[in-house]
Amino acid sequence: MKTKLIAPSLLSADFGNLQRDIEMLNNSQADWFHIDVMDGRFVPNISFGFPVMKTVQQHAKKFVDVHLMIVEPDKYVDEFINHGADLISIHYEACTHLHRTIHHIQSRGVKAGVVLNPSTPVLMLEDIIADVDLVLLMSVNPGFGGQKFIENTYKKIAETKDLILSNNSTALIEIDGGVNLENASKLFEAGADVLVAGNAVFSAESPERTIELLKI
């Protein structure tokens, strides 16, 4: 998979015009659709579920990256796969049998990622890094769009890169939260492969142009 990818988060889209926003992303330089699913239990907010996934499945023409911020994600991964997910990332903090769930997702022909909250150390990935397709490092506490980027993320990117190299893993590194035009190039330089951007894209005067600029 090529790197330096931008994954706009639909969390910041206009849900009254969801098809329009999806078409805008189809016609932009965005690489992935980032889908933030929140259950009001793992995180203190509720976003959306399968009806929105259905609309994404109908209209999105790019790779669909699903970020599950829910308890017991193993109960729902099959339904997200049936709704067109190309990658499902589950939180280390939410999944008791991470190895089993990661392998179950992959057995269905879908990529599997693991997510770490800002306070979870990278070393917790030591025994799963060889199995995952992606590591998603949260650079804000999950639950809301538009929050401030946590600077400690740079240190975690370096640690994740080391862990990937020392395990001959092919996992990509994705960063989620507070990504903007100021920090995007620094994050790619530090070793990120995929940047999620919600607020920076959808609150911009020109979302398409912002997506282009995030890649520079």
Q: Which of 67, 91, 111, 156 binds Zn ion (CB under 5 A)?
A: 67
d(CA 164, CA 126): 9
6 binds, among Zn ion, ligand DX5, none (CB under 5 to 8 A by kind): none
Q: Which stretch binds ligand DX5 (CB under 6 A): 24-32, 82-90, 190-198, 207-215?
A: 190-198
What is the edge-to-edge ordering of all strands in the sheet holding 172-176? 5-8, 194-197, 172-176, 134-138, 111-116, 87-91, 63-69, 32-38
Phi then psi dihedrals of residue 57, to 5 deg: -60, -40
Consult the annotation and say whether 144 binds a ligand.
yes
199 binds, among ligand DX5, Zn ion, none (CB under 5 to 8 A by kind): ligand DX5
Angle CA 105–110–113, to nearest 5: 65
Binding mask 73-112 for ligand DX5 (x = CB under 6 A): ----------------------------------------
Q: Which is nearer to ligand DX5, 11 or 122 (CB)?
A: 11
Active site residue 36: yes
Q: What is the DSSP string of 2-71?
A: -SSEEEEBGGGS-GGGHHHHHHHHHTSS--EEEEEEEBSSSSS-B---HHHHHHHHHH--SEEEEEEESS
Q: Which is nearer to Zn ion, 36 or 74 (CB)?
A: 36
Q: Which stretch binds Zn ion (CB under 5 A): 35-43, 104-112, 127-135, 157-165?
A: 35-43
Q: Which is nearer to Zn ion, 67 or 91 (CB)?
A: 67
Residue positions annotated with a catalytic role: 36, 176
Interface with Zn ion (CB under 5 A): 36, 67, 176
